[in-house]
Amino acid sequence: MNEITSITVWGWFVLAAVLIGLEMLLPGAFMIWLGLAAAATGLVNLFLPMDWPLALLLFAILGVIFAFVGRRISAGVDAGDKEQPFLNRRADALIGQSFTLSEPIVNGEGRIRIGDTVWHLRGPDADAGTRIKVVRVVGGRLVVE
């Protein structure tokens, strides 16, 4: 193995370390896959010395492969959103449901306690005891009819 090839091998490992380090500093999950592609290119280049254009081509191919694999992995992690679709949008879970007013709606504004939360309402004036139905959510307020 000549001196140029060994520097190239270590260059790939240094690039891998830099890219993985950038992943920790920057938001997103993309640099990790390029870092792993650089490390894999370094390993291949360690055991099968190649010129830099061929190594660069290998890095590009591995980068695309690792990015697709990473996307597939992250798609499986995001599957939890489908199990609890209203986790961070509790008001949206109330759309279509009916409730009985404990306080009247006056001048189009009112409040209702649902579970352990007091929600602000917008809708037509109504007396306490009236059944209402949530039709949409606007700015954290339930719009009822």
Residues in the chain, overall count: 145
Q: Which residues contact 134 (CB under 8 A, 6 or more apart)?
A: 94, 95, 96, 97, 98, 99, 142, 143, 144
90-144 carries CATH number 2.40.50.140: yes
Q: Indicate the range of 1-15, 24-38, 112-126 predicted with least confidence.
A: 1-15
8 Å CB contact between 6 and 43: no
Domain residue limits, the chain: 3-78, 90-144
- Rounded to whole angstroms, how far apart are CA atoms 144 and 114? 14
Instruction: Check pLDDT > 80 for residue 116.
Output: no
- Rounded to whole angstroms, how far apart are CA atoms 30 and 44? 22
76 three-state secondary structure: helix
- Residue 43's pLDDT band (boundaries 50, 70, 90)? very high
Beta partners for 122? 109, 143
pLDDT above 70: percentage of residues in the chain: 86
Displacement of CA 104 from its chain's centroid (Å): 40
What are the tens digits of pLDDT across the range 55-105? 999 999 999 999 999 888 877 655 555 666 565 567 777 788 888 888 888
What pLDDT is stored for residue 80 in this prediction? Answer: 52
SS3 of 16-62: HHHHHHHHHHCCCCCHHHHHHHHHHHHHHHHHCCCCHHHHHHHHHHH
What are the tens digits of pLDDT across the range 125-136? 888 888 888 888
Q: What is the mean pLDDT of the chain?
A: 82
What pLDDT is stored for residue 96 in this prediction? Answer: 84
What pLDDT is stored for residue 115 in this prediction? Answer: 77
Q: Which helix (H) or strand (E) holds 81?
A: helix 80-83
Q: How do beta strands 109-114 and 131-138 pair?
A: unpaired
- Residue 7's pLDDT band (boundaries 50, 70, 90)? low
